[in-house]
Structure 1
Amino acid sequence: MNPWNESVLTKSVVDRGISQWATMAGDMERDVPKLTAELLRCLEATPWGNHAEGQAFQASHLGDGGPTDLINRCEKLVKDIAELGDGMRASVDNTLGAHSANAQDWAGMGRTFEA
């Protein structure tokens, strides 16, 4: 059984969803740099101190890239999320264009095309 049987792709609904996605992505692109700067300010304050326990915490917390790796991954994720909306819009447009072309081809053969 084809899970897409009787499925309908309504461009206006998809466009509205992608518009909401773009708004969310824009909010993330605006907010993440502020949050990153705040995180870096907190880390630079070294609230754990210089005593032995503080140094052990610092080595554990900042070791293996720690927050720097988190920041880099977060920035990449935000970029990927922002780009996904445009890719989805192009995929939907391509799908609808292919469907229309198939329908025209079938109509030229005296048939009806149904996805």
Structure 2
Amino acid sequence: WLMAILFVGFDAFNLISGKQGSVAVEVHLSGALFAYLYHAFRWKLLPRKMPSMQLFKRKPKLKLYQEEVHAYAPKYEVKEMGIPEDMLIRVDQILEKISLSGKDSLSEEENLFLFKASETIKRKKS
């Protein structure tokens, strides 16, 4: 504080005596007055948290919603329906091929077998 008072006093003396250019001295004294008022009245020119500082602030992790995966529970027990085991194995193989390569990858014979197996299972259900 003592240094600030000395500089302000020196500038005030120069302004009164007119030895130096008055513009520079007036600017120094205006800055000193502003600094005093800023400190005395606790002015806040900038917000406490600068927006640029918030760029680096850690943000919460993004939470993704995922439905719970439930195992498929069939309405009917296939074994109770009396469908041959070899037919079920062949249907599973064809369905696996569809899941890997798509339905277009099936041969004519596989399409026909899948259709007949579907009809057989439909008849046994009803």
TM-score with structure 1 length normalisation? 0.29
Q: Which of these two proteins has the greater Rg computed from alpha carbons?
A: 2
* Greater RCO structure (CA 8 Å; 6+ sep): 1
- Greater helix fraction, Structure 1 or Structure 2: 1
TM-score with structure 2 length normalisation? 0.27
